[in-house]
Structure 1
Amino acid sequence: MTTTPPGTEETARELLPVASPARTRAAVRELIRPHRALAAAGFAALLAATAVGLLTQPLLGRIVDIAAGNRPLDTLTAVVLSLVAVALLQGLATTAGLALVARLGETVLARLRERFVERALGLPLERIERAGSGDLTARVTGDVAVVAEAVRRALPEFTRSALAIVLTLGALAVLDWRFLLAALVALPIQTWTARWYIRRAVPLYARQRIAGGTQQQQLLDTVRGAATVRAFRLEREHTERVTERSGALVALTLRGVNLVLSFYSRLHIAEFAGLAAVLATGYLLVRDGSASVGTATAAALYFHSLFTPMNAVLVLLDDAQSAVSGLARIVGVADLLQDGTTT
């Protein structure tokens, strides 16, 4: 067994290919195309669940108007029964929609795994040796796990949250177009935050995935050559290499954590600005007689209900960027032909 200075072996290796963003998107479309009916059914169920759920805020506003007008308590019966019906219908539709979306995601993920394993097993041994087995191992383990987690958790949540955002903004416009304008005060801050995050997250997560593969390769080299390492008294050198690569991976991971924390702090500023604008608009409209207290309450509740889906969509960008990086590495191998060339 020969040894080389730290870092020399990485420069000599030819890593397995990573698919371009365009190719990654095309691969996803190819995998989903045979299951368009399932995708449409899941989307329709989630759309219905979200639309039904948006009836909650006006009903609560109605309760406020009844209380403010000192109306008989009997008038609350119909409103309360309506709230119960909304909760039941929304729960049933949400369950059906999430089940369909999860089925779609698992089906697509299974097909992607099959393609990956098929091409990986067909790779010539010399191609794997040029890349280092750690590169392939990292894709089989870490990258597949990241993509699987995104499919099982992020995809259904993102779909439901995106629908909630669009329909809630439409509901605000139905109450009064000025409420919609007030809610949009938060949009520039959220847009800037998302762009700021993506510019930094995409290259960071790509480097993190590569660093993970490099670390695994060093561990494999050290373990497989343990007898030779001991014979030539190279324990310290290999320990230093493992420490160096592990330290690089930890440093990149901590940078990712700090990036996410900064991302959250900017989102809170957007929420405060939007809610303040909606409350101020409601105060002015109620004072002028353009809206009732119940309508203003419904508008404030609508905007407050946007916190969860909006934050979910933006926060899921973290999972999405990591998953996209892993998916590109999986598709890069899945696109390999049996002779080791790319399509």
Structure 2
Amino acid sequence: MKLFRVLTTIIFSGIVCSAFAQDSYEADVDSAWIASQNGGSTEMNDGSDEPNPECIGDGCGEATAESTTEQASNEAVAESAAEKTKNEGADSDEEEDCTPADSLLPECKDSASETKVASSDDDDDDDDTYDRYTNENADISRASREGFSSGFSLGFRFGGGFNLFFIGEETDDWRIGYEATAGIIAQTKLGIEGLFASVGLSFSYFRYRYEADFEFDDYSEEDEAKVNVALFEIPVIIKYAIGGGNITLGLGFDLGLKLTGSSEFDQTINTSTTTEQDDTHDNTLPTAGLEMGAVLEIGYIVNKNVSVDLRVIQRFTNLLNSDVVFESSVKDAKLLGTHATIGISLFL
């Protein structure tokens, strides 16, 4: 009986303790114990009613501290970035708020300096563009001038030579005379490689000489004459550069317009009664007012500014105006002059 009473007491005590322990667990574990094991957080894993199995036991609090430190570091970085953006916005607002009256403020000075540098860069770009435009136009202009000058040349020709002989009738007593010429010359290309035309306008002076001796039964006669002629000459010559080189061959036409002329005729007569008798006649050998002839020219181009030539002109017209010649010894002469000059041309 005593044993039964002891067993009954033990069973009843166990039931009471079990009930008391269940009520206390639900009250304590549900808040304080979970909080201590979960780094101060009362949240359950995945929203369940059970504590987080990964955060129960020793070391749970340490892992939670590291997570908390990382989270705090990320928050600090985000705050720093936000502060920097805020400061940049403030600086931009300050620059926008700068007015001419604020130009002495340090921050506005910096802004004005940057603006000036940017403006200077823009000006430099504009200057470079203008320089390129000017240089391009200069290059175009120079190319145009060079192209024109290579197709057209203007210059001066100076020459001197001799009237060698005459073709015609009664020409034996005419001697070699001399001549000089100077004038302007223009040349232009004709569209075929190596072929170009030359036109000149020159002032030319000619001196012709006449000497004759006559023997008669009772006397002898010596005649001497000098004829001076000044002409405006217009030579038109077509030239060809042989093989595209420096040697040129030209053929053309020459027109001479008389400006002035004079003559002097000296006659000396020897007879049996008088040893010598001199007689001088002025302007008794008038010359023609118009002379025409053919031109043959051989030239050499030294460079683009200088050339030399040998020019031969053969007249088709009589030098003398036979209808009004006074002197009987030359009245029937027909003088077609042959002229040869060496010239130098200087082109601009």
Normalised to the residue count of structure 1, the TM-score between the two structures is 0.19
Higher strand content, 1 or 2 = 2
Normalised to the residue count of structure 2, the TM-score between the two structures is 0.19
Larger of the two Rg values belongs to structure: 2
Greater relative contact order, per chain length (Cα 8 Å cut-off, separation 6+): 1
